[in-house]
A and B are shown apart, each in its own frame.
Chain A
Amino acid sequence: MTAALEVKNLHASVADQPILKGIDLLVKQGEVHALMGPNGSGKSTLAFTLAGHPAYETTAGQVIFDGEDLLEMEADERSRAGLFLAFQYPAAVPGVTLAKFLRQTINSRMQAKDPDSKGISIPAFRRFLTEKMNLLGIDPKFAGRYLNEGFSGGEKKRVEILQMATVEPKIAIMDETDSGLDIDALRIVSEGANRLHKELNMGVLIITHYQRILDYVKPDHVHIMFDGRIVESGGPELALKLEEEGYDWIRAKYGVAEEA
């Protein structure tokens, strides 16, 4: 059975400020969706709300993930259930090496299933990590560096995809993973996402401003978000239309809220 992320009439606030005003969205495993929209429309808020960030408060609506009520779960449970968020600005975790962190993500999964599990053995983990890092063109030295500390923007994005490849989610949200990447890094990161999409039948929700990542990771569905709602949904042609015409027609059609 394939998993799905089903968002129904979702409302959410940050610091008592309503941001999401009724989102409806269905992403099934194996599908690629793109979510576009002007700055401030609520795209990243949707990503954080789905990932379970404590500062984002759900005020109405429902989210069903793989048949379970997602909003009842803590952030770590959501991850173990198979939902992944590639962060636009991942936090640095000083003092914790990338290798130690990745091993813990695996061990936490094993221990959630079996509390007595000792986790993955060090040699097995080393083999696993070397293979994944090679695929993503990450220098093996990064394994011993503190997570995201002093990493360049491009390195952080690659490491986000490395994490995705490590935990093998059912559905991944990629929040502006393309921002700040040069064309080579964009290709490597996109290939990484495509590989997981094909091999694991992973569903993908790409949040982006630009067509260019969609040239590599081809969406089946494109949604446009505006003022906390999804106002248009269509096929890949919708992204091309935005690339050519911008958001003015959306603003004209759905509201006057010009950006400050």
Chain B
Amino acid sequence: MSNFTKDAVQKLSAFLNEPEWMLEFRLKAFEVYENTLMPTIKEEAWRRTNLRQMKFNEFGPSINGDAATDSEIPSFLGEQLTEDKVGGNLLQIDGVTQQYEISDELTAQGVIFCDMHTAVSQHPDLVKKYFMTEGVKVTEGKFAALHGAFWRGGTFLYVPRNVRADAPLHTVLWSVNGRTFTHTLVVLETGAEAIFMDEYASADGDAQGLHNGVIELLVGDNANLVYAGLQDFGQNVWQFNHERGRVGRDGKLDWVTSIMGTRLTKAFQTLELDQPGSWGRMSGIFFTNGRQHLDMDTEQNHNAADTVSDLLYKGALREKSRVVWQGMIKALPDSQRIDGFQANRNLMLDQTARADSIPGLEIEADDVRCTHASAIGKLDEEEIFYLMSRGIPRETAVEMSVQGFFDPLMRRIPFEGIRTRIFDRIVEKIG
């Protein structure tokens, strides 16, 4: 028997003391969830990701965030990122806010940065307007619907018209009970600007865990968002994410994704370039080892003329891990003079790992520039020898070479402190 029941939806909403409209939203999503079959490898999008080993019936909603108190969290989560000036900090454990601060400057600017539940009670009009309406919809799949019914925690960031957020924002979502349903909703009005680092992590655990997240990035006309979603869950977690960025006229979305953790991740990441002059860049950094399975579906939808998208996903693979990247660039008939690029480069550190790289184009316009590239490579032994010939031990030379592989993308993560932490994680994974 599944623990995801209508009764559980009502309990969760009551526990959170939610207004009627949110309960209704959840119940509608639950209906969709009930009427949608669990995906199988017979569906194209799931062809390379088998859920047979997932113990779905052991999962359940996170109603009261019970395990959150008195639990051990890594020290870095509580620390301020002292080297980088941050305007807002939010730390949640299992969807429950533990630490929160926002600078007076940002508040004075009218920037809203808070947890999603606070947003529901304090900014209902904004949430009603943007929550799973323009970004991800509950009808997109079983897990999008599950999220709509059971979402818990996450961040709301709203930047008003023509406001340039004074300092970057930072959220850390830590999980102890292994059941997280976090929701990120970012809304940038016309001419607004912001930088937001969104981290998801947990320690390794024995029992299977579930993360079922949604990320919605709504970038208005002339607005400019830098967003980095950085995931480092324990290798017991099964992750199902729906993520969508939407960009208005002459707007810009610089979207970085880093994936280090989980047993299995299936992520749908879609960029919608809606108006002439929309620009979007998607950067992916991932490193898998052990039996990790990572399956990313990316879409770059050029819904208007004169739009530019640029996707580069780079990963390193070890041991028996497997990575699937399936990318698609779409252009509607009127989307002339677009420039779309997608590339996936994988570095195979062990022969036992496996990578599938599947680029795709669906172009209905005729005056376009769309290119794709994918490459699977090994460590360059000439490079390693060259480094060693200067007195650098092999182990360090390999670390440098792998770090070098990621460096151009790492430079796109705005915080030194976070870059260093990911680099350390990469070194740890090289082993």
Real complex partners, A and B? Answer: yes
Chain A residues engaging chain B, CB cutoff 8 angstroms = 51-54, 74-76, 78-80, 85, 87, 90-96, 100-101, 104-105, 108-109, 112, 146, 163, 167
A85 to B387, CA, bound (A): 12
CA distance A118 to B405 in the complex (A): 25
CA distance A108 to B400 in the complex (A): 13
CA A109 to CA B390, docked complex, whole Å: 10
28 A-B residue pairs with CB within 8 Å: A53-B385, A74-B394, A76-B388, A76-B389, A76-B390, A76-B394, A76-B397, A79-B388, A79-B391, A90-B386, A91-B385, A91-B386, A93-B400, A94-B405, A94-B408, A95-B404, A95-B407, A96-B401, A101-B390, A101-B400, A104-B392, A105-B392, A108-B390, A112-B391, A146-B407, A163-B390, A167-B390, A167-B391
What's the minimum C-beta distance from A112 to chain B, rounded to whole angstroms?
8
Residues A87 and B405 in contact in the complex (CB < 8 Å), given A76-B394, A105-B392: no
Further pairs besides A76-B391, A101-B387: 16, Cβ < 8 Å: A54-B385, A74-B388, A74-B394, A76-B392, A78-B389, A79-B391, A92-B383, A93-B400, A95-B406, A96-B401, A96-B403, A96-B407, A108-B390, A108-B392, A108-B396, A167-B390
- Are the CB atoms of B392 and A93 closer together than 8 Å? no
Question: B363: shortest Cβ distance to chain A, in Å?
Answer: 31
Chain A residue with minimal CB distance to B402?
Answer: A95
B202 to chain A, nearest CB (A): 29
B206 close to A (CB within 8 Å): no
The interface residues of chain A lying within 8 Å CB-to-CB of B390 are 76, 79, 101, 105, 108, 163, 167
Among residues of A, the one whose C-beta sits closest to the C-beta of B409 is A95
A95 near B383 (CB under 8 angstroms)?
no
Contact yes or no, A93 B387, CB < 8 A: yes
- In the complex formed, the residue of A with least CB distance to B386 is A91
Q: How far is the CA of A54 from the CA of B382 in the complex (A)?
A: 9
Cβ of A92: which chain B residues have Cβ within 8 Å of it? 383
Give A192 Cβ to nearest chain B Cβ, in Å.
16
Cβ–Cβ contact B393 & A108, under 8 A: yes
**Given contacts A54-B381, A104-B396, A108-B396, is CB(A95)–CB(B403) below 8 Å?**
yes
Report if B20 contacts A (CB, 8 A): no
- Interface assignment of B44: CB less than 8 Å from any CB of chain A: no
* Cα-based distance from A191 to B164 in the complex (angstroms): 54
Residues 342-381 of B, flagged 1 when their CB comes within 8 A of A and 0 if not, give 0000000000000000000000000000000000000011
Q: Is the CB of B408 within 8 A of A91?
A: no
A51, B389: Cβ atoms closer than 8 Å: yes
Residues on the B chain within 8 Å of A112, using CB: 391, 393
Task: Name the CB-closest residue of A to B393.
Answer: A76
Are B408's CB and A109's CB within 8 A? Answer: no
Closest Cβ of chain A to B8, distance in Å, is: 48
Q: Judge whether A87 and B388 touch: CB under 8 Å.
A: no
Contacts of A78 in B (CB 8 A): 389
A101 and B406 CA atoms in complex are apart in Å by 16
Q: Are A96 and B404 in contact (CB under 8 A)?
A: yes
Q: Which among B383, B393, B406, B408 is the interface contact of A93 at CB below 8 angstroms?
A: B383
Q: In residues 220-251 of chain B, which contact A (Cβ within 8 Å)? A: none
Which residues of the other chain, A, contact B382 by a CB distance below 8 angstroms?
Answer: 91
List residues of chain A with CB within 8 A of the CB of B386.
87, 90-91, 93
Q: How far is it, in angstroms, between the C-alpha of A76 and the C-alpha of B392 when the chains are bound?
A: 5
Chain B residue with Cβ nearest A86: B389
Cβ contacts under 8 Å, A104 to chain B: 387, 392, 396, 400
What separation, in Å, do the CA atoms of A79 and B387 have in the docked complex? 10
Complex CA gap A87/B397 in Å reads: 18
The answer on a CB contact under 8 Å between A93 and B401 is yes
A75/B389 in contact, CB under 8 A: yes
Minimal beta-carbon separation of A30 from chain B (angstroms): 22
Name which of A96, A105, A109, A163 has the most chain B CB atoms within 10 A of its CB.
Answer: A96
Q: Which residues of B contact A53 (CB under 8 A)?
A: 385
**Could you say which of B380, B383, B391, B406 contacts A80, with CB atoms under 8 Å apart?**
B391
Report, nearest first, the 6 A-B pairs whose CB atoms are least far apart. Answer: A95-B404, A95-B407, A79-B391, A75-B388, A91-B386, A96-B404
Q: How far is the CA of A125 from the CA of B382 in the complex (A)?
A: 27
Chain B nearest CB, measured from A87 CB (Å): 7
Q: Whole-angstrom distance between the alpha carbons of A112 and B388 in the complex?
A: 13
Q: A101 vs B383: C-alpha distance in the bound complex, in angstroms?
A: 12
A167 to B400, CA, bound (A): 18
A54 to B397, CA, bound (A): 15
* CA distance in complex: A109, B325 (Å): 41
Complex Cα distance, B391 from A146, in Å, reads: 19
Complex-state Cα separation, A101 to B405, whole angstroms: 14
Closest-CB distance, B422 to chain A (whole angstroms): 14
Asked if residues A146 and B404 are in contact (CB atoms below 8 Å), the reply is yes
CA distance A92 to B404 in the complex (A): 11
C-alpha gap A91/B387 in the complex (Å): 9
CB closest residue in chain B, given A148: B386
Q: How far is the CB of A244 from chain B (nearest CB, A)?
A: 35
Assuming the A-B contacts A75-B388, A91-B383, are A96 and B394 also in contact, with contact meaning beta carbons closer than 8 angstroms in the complex?
A: no
Chain A min CB distance to B312 (Å): 13
Residues of A within 8 A of B394 (CB): 74, 76
List, in ascending order, chain A residues with CB within 8 A of B408's CB.
Answer: 94-95
The closest CB in chain B to the CB of A80 belongs to B391
Provide the bound-state CA to CA distance between A165 and B217, in Å: 51
Which residue from A90, A93, A95, A109 sits with its C-beta under 8 Å from B391? A109
User: Once bound together, how far apart are the Cα atoms of A117 and B231, in whole Å?
Assistant: 33
From B381, B386, B392, B396, name the one whose CB has the most chain A CB atoms within 10 angstroms: B386
* A79 smallest CB distance to B (angstroms): 4
